[in-house]
Amino acid sequence: MRRRSRRPLVQWLAAIGANAYIPGWILGQIYRGPLKMGCVPILNCYSCPGALFACPVGAAQNAAARGTLPFYAVGVVAAAGALAGRLPCGWLCPFGLFQDLIHRLRGRRRAMALPRSLGWVKFAVLALLLPAAAIPTGAADMGYERFCTYLCPSGTLMASVPLLAVDPTLRTLAGPLLGWRFALLFLVIGTGIFLYYRPFCRVLCPLGAGLGLGNRPSLWAVGHDPRRRTDCGACRAACPVALDPTAGGTDTAECIRCLRCAEACLPKSLRFGLRNRIEGGDAG
Amino acid sequence: MTRNRMRAGSGWLFAAGALVLLGLWRGEHLDVFTKAITLCLECLGLR
């Protein structure tokens, strides 16, 4: 009998744990304690009233805007990618959980396959992330976080909505930019319900692109034991991003490491674990 | 191939750890802290 997945529980615990500053939600203020020194490899806006940690995408852009290189933020993302690739996308990211929830509104209808070329857009966003932030603007002679400003629906959902809801002063600052951001958020929601599974993660997320670079060499990976392989196709049918896990699909940057393939594999040919253990030494 | 990937992954992790340590040595965590405890108008879409 197939076991119930622990992923939703882990996702909820991660989302709640990363946004556990209760007074922030009530008073509309952000957390200002020492945990905010820590970058965590999930897209969780540090201006979210509940956020306990810093977003590496925002932190990296802020460093670039000040004209320095963001070794710390980049290192955190690279370390997470080296350990388990996009596992944080599949299991920890609060905005990933949000997209999973809206995708459930589709019911049992299968999502459309995303055109492969769209998958490259997130790498372009990643490549332009720091140069775009570094471009000076106006009299301040500093750049600013252009991805956060124009493209991050997580910030709109997790920061703009709760803070604008409780702070009338902030509402007076709202302009056309906020309209664009809500339009983007609704685009993500609409495509997530009617067309594709996790459209933002797969098309625009620079953090997902950065972590995805680690999918191929990551120490923990999804591997398959050829001796147990039955070619039943259950893993391919279970994959929400239409990859073939038996043909190296889980090593591509498109795999969000949700591990549904491993959960669907009844002969336990596919497993997630330390790469040299699951792939049997040099046999891979 | 598995062994090569394990080596690549280990090297990647070592390099990433070195980046984190270099960043901490440069005090970048304090810059991150300063930014993260200030309400980010860019993140809110207000600037």
List the domain boundaries for chain A.
7-160+171-212, 220-278
Q: Does A168 touch chain B (CB under 8 A)?
A: no
Which member of B9, B41, B44 has the closest CB to residue A219? B9
Q: In 10 A of CB A170, how many CB atoms?
A: 17
Q: Does A87 touch chain B (CB under 8 A)?
A: no
Domain limits, chain B: 2-44
ipTM beyond 0.90?
yes
Q: Does B27 touch chain A (CB under 8 A)?
A: no
**Across the interface, do A72 and B9 touch by the CB < 8 Å criterion?**
no
Which member of A71, A177, A178 has the closest CB to residue B28? A71
Show which of residues 178-207 on chain A sit within 8 Å of chain B, judged by CB atoms. Answer: 178, 180-181
Q: Does B22 touch chain A (CB under 8 A)?
A: yes
Classify residue A252 as exposed, middle or buried by CB count within 10 Å of its CB (0-12, 13-18, 19+).
middle
Using the CB atoms, write b or e for A179-189: b if 16+ within 10 Å.
Answer: eebbebbeebb
Helix/strand/coil for A179? helix
pLDDT for position A108: 76
pLDDT tens, position by position, B1-47 = 788 889 999 999 999 999 999 999 999 999 999 999 999 888 898 87
Q: Report the DSSP beta bridge partners of residue A96.
A: none
Q: In 10 A of CB A174, how many CB atoms?
A: 15
**Across the interface, do A78 and B1 touch by the CB < 8 Å criterion?**
no
CA of B34 to nearest chain A CA: how many angstroms apart? 8
CA distances from A215 to A49, A73, A135, A153, A251 (A): 32, 19, 31, 24, 5
- Tens-digit pLDDT string for chain A (284 aa): 566 789 999 999 999 999 999 999 999 899 999 999 999 999 999 999 999 999 999 999 999 999 999 999 999 999 999 999 999 999 999 999 999 999 988 887 777 888 889 999 999 999 999 999 999 887 667 889 999 999 999 999 999 999 999 999 999 998 999 999 999 999 999 998 888 999 999 999 999 999 999 999 999 999 888 788 788 899 999 999 999 998 889 999 999 999 999 999 988 889 999 988 887 644 33
CA of A151 to nearest chain B CA: how many angstroms apart? 10
Task: Report the CATH architecture of A220-278.
Answer: 2-Layer Sandwich (3.30)
Which member of A178, A216, A219 has the closest CB to residue B10? A219
